[in-house]
Amino acid sequence: MATRAFDGCLGVEVFKDRDDPSRVVAVEHWASLEHDRAYRAWRDGEGRIVEGGGLFVSPPRLTVGVARDDV
């Protein structure tokens, strides 16, 4: 919920793999790359999610994409 409330977050979609429930993909939509960078910096500091709390099986991997409607 903290992600969705963060300044510049336009929304988050979370998808769970049907065949492997431990695999989850979160698609975050940000107003700008600067908003996303501020969020990442916050998560690296005071907003850190404590590892080992059962949330992640492995460290998250970040991929930055651009929406395309010509593909």
- What pLDDT shows up at residue 59? 77
Domain-embedded: residue 24: yes
- What pLDDT shows up at residue 50? 64
Domain-embedded: residue 22: yes
Domain-embedded: residue 62: no
The parts of the chain modelled with pLDDT lower than 70 are 50-56
Domain-embedded: residue 50: no
Q: Which domain holds residue 22?
A: 2-44
Domain-embedded: residue 54: no
Name the pairing type of β-strands 24-30 and 9-16: antiparallel
CATH of the domain at 13: 3.30.70.100
Domain-embedded: residue 56: no
Q: What tokens does 44 get?
A: 């690296």
Please tell me the total count of domains within the chain.
1
- What pLDDT shows up at residue 61? 85
DSSP for the chain reads: -HHHHSTTEEEEEEEE-SS-TT-EEEEEEES-HHHHHHHHHHHHTTTPPPTTSSS-SS----------S--
- What pLDDT shows up at residue 47? 82
